[in-house]
Structure 1
Amino acid sequence: MARTVRFHEIGGPDVMRLEDLEPGEPGPREVRIRVDAIGINRAESLFRSGQYIEPVKQLPARLGNEAAGVIEAVGPEVTGFQKGQAVSVVPNFSHNDYGVYAQQAIVPANALLPRPDAVDAVSGAAVWMPYLTAYGAMVEVGGMRAGDVAVINAASSSVGLAAMHTANRLGATPIAVTRTRAKRQQLLDEGAADVIVSDEEDTAKRVLQLTDGKGADYIFDAVAGPGVVALARVVAADGTLFLWGALSGQPTPYPGFDLGMPALNMRTYTMLEITKDPQRLRRAAAFVTSGLRDRVFRPVVDRLFPLEEIVQAHRHMESNNQFGKIVVTVSH
């Protein structure tokens, strides 16, 4: 039996329960892994509370699509992986189909990346989602180049930090946006060229000041909601406003008409655009691996929680006080 997190009703962190379940055997194109560490993702909080872009289809439901561990069993039609191999699980599947909040979990083989010996389980669970997200929007979709300016809000999140590291890797200039001054110095230490404290400054006005009136080539918005109107005002000519999160929880208008119909590029983006496409995932993995090898990429881990404290881990995530990735460790 494997300790497994499930929830039997939609709600807050307290609806999650640790249960003893039979892990089962992998089917075609699946593997079973011993889970050693789990990356906690905002999407899981939204799914659990019924606010995600995909609804919960059946209760009880599982959670989790980021993990690191070791393959225990390989199902039919799986090639390229073997029992005993250290791997990371990247999100490319629905929470309605699989979940890695457990001591053992079955996952699709196409969600696995080999984990090098130098990458421990905590790093292997923390590094991939943030950097695959950043790579996909900035490189694969956005085509960011050296000299471009990128404005990144929710910058102290794991994705925000990975986006800053990625911008620096490309020779672009990352401008971090954070609500309070508390994380300002940490963001500068992580490579932000400038930090805008949105509770104290007019973000749009400050972006124009920092760019000599040109505006930002890219804005990566994890908040969405009414604030997109102000952000859209400071997108440079031929620039793009990416919406890759909706932390505000409010309706998001299309601002183009209110602003006089400028040539505004605005698109939504999720990491699934990368992880569900084998060729894009191959390129993304090579890019991130190169950054890890050169030590310009690294997971920024905020706190570790044991699996038995999964409720506390989610409460901490929803407090918005973290800096970087929250990781859950799993004992056996």
Structure 2
Amino acid sequence: MPRVIRFHELGGPEVLRIENVVIPAPQPGLVQIRVKALGINRAEALLRSGAYIETAPLPSGLGLEAAGIVEAVGEGVDGFMPGDRVSIIPPISMVQWPAYGELITFPAEFVVRHPPTLSWEAAAAVWMPFLTAYGALIDTAGLSKGDFVAVTAASSSVGLAAIQIANKVGATPIAITRTSVKRKALHDAGAAHVLASQEEDLETKLKAVAGRDGVRVVFDAVAGPIFEPLSAAMSSGGILIEYGGLNQEPTPFPLSAVLGKGLTLRGYLVHEILRDPARLQAAKTFIFEGLASGALEPVISRTFPFEQIVEAHRFLESNEQFGKIVVTV
């Protein structure tokens, strides 16, 4: 029987178990995939610990990204056949469509053929970071040539995708990280400027970099006290897009900056792109073009074998990674 990864109680990485289960043949509209690699995301750690936007019905599977070979297709599925090399875009519900397994079943609309030049590991690391960054920066903020964009949690897979997308459209990416440890790596990854939020006066540095016009777009995964220096350095009419909450401290509302500059503060989840077929198609076109040209390329931090899923989650929560963590199957 195929192996899957599930958890029977909420908690740390140690609650993850590898189990053998029966996987039925795909129903109409579904595609069954023999998995070669999995992309690991912080959302999965949140689900596992009980802090995600979904509630896990125990026991629960998990996982949002995978790449592999089509094993079988259900009735009514067009465009895919056994043997195709495919990857999946993140499902809206990972408890309904979990990706952590040797054999997984997904709706055909969440399955794509990836460029044959991508390795299995790279193919499993594309869709969550690039769809998330595209939806925020291009679809929502309209990032374009000449804009300054500040990217927090810049060494995450989403942060690195945002840097690449900013460069692709001619914007200037300002990477914000906690310390200087990853400064050189971020410059090498395409960041025009790198600021260490725990070591520098963030507001002063941002204003010095962006000049009198300020930072038009902020892409933030952190929240908490960093809201104040970020908003203070923004341009009139700027937009701050919040897609996470890594800092558990209260997040102050920057009233003076919002009123004085007419700022937009907007929450964002990749689900809004996934729910809109036209916007999703535009995103896929943008990403495929970027992958083909080399402007977009997944950054792999470290790979783990399937049997070391607990260690992979521990590494995720260490915050030591630079890019995507991938599990090979």
Residue in structure 2 matched with residue 144 of structure 1 by the alignment: 143
Distance 1:260 1:282, change over 3 A: closer
TM-score (norm 1): 0.96
The amino acid across from 1:178 in the alignment is T
Determine if contact 1:67/1:124 at 8 Å carries over to the other structure: yes
Q: Distance in 1 between matches of 2:121 and 2:41?
A: 14
Residue in structure 2 matched with residue 22 of structure 1 by the alignment: 22
The amino acid across from 2:232 in the alignment is R
The amino acid across from 1:86 in the alignment is R
Q: Which runs of 5+ in 2 are unaligned?
A: none
The amino acid across from 2:89 in the alignment is V
Residue in structure 1 matched with residue 63 of structure 2 by the alignment: 64
Determine if contact 1:68/1:121 at 8 Å carries over to the other structure: yes
Q: Distance in 2 between matches of 1:13 and 1:305?
A: 14
Q: Distance in 2 between matches of 1:78 and 1:319?
A: 41
Residue in structure 2 matched with residue 187 of structure 1 by the alignment: 186
Residue in structure 1 matched with residue 226 of structure 2 by the alignment: 227
The amino acid across from 1:152 in the alignment is V
Q: Distance in 1 between matches of 2:259 and 2:149?
A: 24
Q: Distance in 1 between matches of 2:254 and 2:2?
A: 49
Name the SS for the 1:223 alignment partner: coil
Determine if contact 2:232/2:257 at 8 Å carries over to the other structure: no
The amino acid across from 1:314 in the alignment is H
Q: Distance in 2 between matches of 1:24 and 1:204?
A: 55
Residue in structure 1 matched with residue 13 of structure 2 by the alignment: 13
Q: Deviations over 1:45-95 (max 9, x none)?
A: 111101112222x10000101000111111123222222211111102312
Name the SS for the 2:248 alignment partner: coil
Per-residue deviation, 1:141: 1.2
Determine if contact 2:69/2:83 at 8 Å carries over to the other structure: yes
Per-residue deviation, 1:262: 4.2
Instruction: Name the Cα RMSD after superposition.
Output: 1.4
Q: Deviations over 1:212-241 (max 9, x none)?
A: 233201001010123212222222111100
Residue in structure 2 matched with residue 4 of structure 1 by the alignment: 4
Q: Distance in 1 between matches of 2:327 and 2:316?
A: 12
The amino acid across from 2:206 in the alignment is V
Determine if contact 2:257/2:263 at 8 Å carries over to the other structure: no
Q: Which runs of 5+ in 1 are unaligned?
A: none
Determine if contact 1:92/1:276 at 8 Å carries over to the other structure: no
Q: Distance in 1 between matches of 2:292 and 2:156?
A: 22
Residue in structure 2 matched with residue 107 of structure 1 by the alignment: 106
Greater Cα shift, 251-260 or 27-36: 251-260
Determine if contact 1:256/1:262 at 8 Å carries over to the other structure: no
Distance 1:310 1:226, change over 3 A: same
Q: Distance in 2 between matches of 1:91 and 1:191?
A: 26
TM-score (norm 2): 0.96
Give % identity.
48
Correspondence 1:118 to 2:87: no
Per-residue deviation, 1:98: 1.5
The amino acid across from 2:85 in the alignment is A
Residue in structure 2 matched with residue 300 of structure 1 by the alignment: 299
Q: Distance in 2 between matches of 1:239 and 1:262?
A: 8
Q: Distance in 2 between matches of 1:179 and 1:272?
A: 28
Correspondence 1:164 to 2:163: yes
Name the SS for the 1:133 alignment partner: helix
Residue in structure 1 matched with residue 240 of structure 2 by the alignment: 241
The amino acid across from 1:237 in the alignment is S
Count residues in correspondence.
329
The amino acid across from 2:3 in the alignment is R
